[in-house]
Structures are given as C-alpha cells and as structure tokens.
A = this chain, B = another copy of it.
C-alpha cells in the first residue's frame, strides 16, 4: 500500500492535466494505493467535479477515495527557486513534501517549476549523508535497452567526486527501477581512453576504477543511441548536468525533426507512429530526483495526463523498490 502525492497546481496544463492523470492512475492502481491531490482545495474540487461529469460509476467511486490536501500558495513556473521556497511556505510542493517528511505520504510527483521542486525536495526531504547534491536521472530510449543518464540538469558545474556520486546513484536506479542485475556504468567523454576528457572527467575516471561499481570506462556520444559501447551494453551514463541537459533536450527535439523530414519524403504518419511511440518521453513519466531521503518525481512542464499518470507509476515504483533506502546504504558503504 502506497500513498502518492500529486502536485495538482504544477505544470503548464494544471490543474486539468494532474486531475486527469489522477483519474487515469486511479483506474490502473485500484483501491490498493492512495492518491493525494495537493493544491488549492477549491480549485481541485471544481476541476474534479468538472472532469467527473459523465464519468463511469467506477471512476466516480475511485475519485471519492482521493485525499485532497489544501495548499493555498501557488508556485509559478517563472518563480525563482529561492523565492518559491522562502516566500511560499504553503505551496503544493512544500505541503506535499512535508507530508512525506512526516510519514504521511510515500512519494511526491510534480510537473511544476523544476528548480523549485529540487530546492524544496532537498530542503524538506534532506539528502542522504555523504551527498552534496541531488541528481536528475533521465531514461533515454536506445536501439537496445533504455539507459539512465545522470545528471540531466540538477548540477551544471560538477567535480570529479560528484560524478562518482552520480555513478553510485545511477547504479541503484538501474538495479531498482530498470531491473539490471549488475548495471554497466559508462562515463561520458570525448574518447574512450582514460586520459581523454575534461579535468573533472579525467579525475572521475581514475576514482571510478577504484570503486566496486561495474565501471566500463569512458563512453562517447555515439554510444548512447546504441545503448552500448564496444565493450558491451550500457545501463548508466554519467555526465555533468550541463552536458546531460543539453543532450536530453537535443534528443527530445531531434526525433520529431527527423520524422518531419521523412514525412516530407513521403513516409506516412502511421509508419512513423510505432517508432515515435518507442521514443515517447511520456512513457517514462518522470525523472526521480536522486539522492534525497524519499521520492520526488520531476515531470516535464508540458506533461500530458498520460505522462503524469506514468509519473505516478514512477513514484510508486521508486517507493516500492526501496530505492531511496538503497541509495542511502550505497553512499554510506
């Protein structure tokens, strides 16, 4: 039994998308788990009532089981993180995360202001001892199995020690969430030789060889779409958050661009549909903020109800697998 808190006020399409996501998730999760809708209570109740018009008896019944938790302050997508944390102590993010910190919730899921969610998660849930920063782990589809790329944007300037911490976080993520027994960890660089890379990467390479992780060495940009380097498959790609964020956004945009070219060349939408589906970020739902004591799932600001519903599943998986506990054990080991 898990209690998943959903930020009803976060994202470009709030409150419609989160409420719709909650209804979709309720049908899939059934009565075993509890969904907590966090936000301005009147807004949530109004939107819920609107979406329940004409809904099936089952959906109406499931919706009565939602726990609605009032949070009067609203964090805007444009708010600076520090302002959002200090100036809006009763935002849906603060309230949802405090529920978890006080043992009344098991996971928090939001498509709201990412910077604010990171800051609030670190402030309220706290980091596991031994970590200086959290990391965002994003799943990239590849020609083989999906890989987790981290950091995807939480830290733009990274030291070698932080890169090593990302490898540890990625190791646990790949085991608990992707189900890889002995995750193969690659360090993103500009050449496979140990002496290739910027200063932080070169030092991290040396440090990683001294860990008990399954470190396969440096990998290059070309290895990511393949999901493998010439030494075998990859499960985890370690990089600083600047490179990871640029790559993530590039990847999200390059597939539609290529498919657009093909459609101009006469390939039909239906033919492209299958491949598009394989690459759909919405399938993966959200990226956990790794390193915090608890579960905080970061969803894309423009998440559809489907994507947010998958974010709820991601939160459930992260909680049920004990990922956060395993991260704590891995870091202190």
Contact = CB atoms under 8 A, between A and B. Distances in A.
A265 interface: yes
A181 interface: no
Contacts of A222: 249-250, 252-253
A259 B258 CA distance: 9
| Residue among A226, A250, A253 with most chain B CB within 10 A | A250
Interface residues of A, number: 51
Contacts of A223: 253
Interface in A195-234: 197-199, 201, 220-226
Interface in A246-262: 246-262
Nearest to A259: B258
A49 interface: no
B252 A156 contact: no
A278 interface: yes
Interface of A: 142-143, 153, 156-157, 188-190, 197-199, 201, 220-226, 239-243, 245-262, 265-267, 271-272, 274-275, 278-279
A219 to B, nearest CB: 10
A117 to B, nearest CB: 15
Given A197-B156, A197-B242, A226-B253, A265 B261 contact: no
Contact of A224 (B188, B248, B253, B267): B253
B265 A199 contact: no
B278 A274 contact: no
A119 to B, nearest CB: 15
Contacts of A265: 271-272, 274-275
A239 B250 CA distance: 14
B157 A198 contact: yes
Given A156-B201, A190-B241, 12 more contacts: A143-B260, A189-B242, A190-B242, A201-B242, A222-B252, A222-B253, A226-B253, A247-B250, A258-B279, A261-B278, A262-B271, A265-B275
B225 A253 contact: yes
A234 to B, nearest CB: 13
B142 A257 contact: yes
Contacts of A256: 225
A242 B188 CA distance: 10
A221 B246 contact: yes
21 contacts: A143-B260, A156-B197, A156-B198, A157-B198, A197-B242, A201-B242, A220-B246, A221-B252, A222-B252, A225-B250, A225-B256, A239-B246, A251-B254, A258-B279, A261-B274, A261-B278, A262-B275, A265-B271, A265-B274, A265-B275, A266-B271
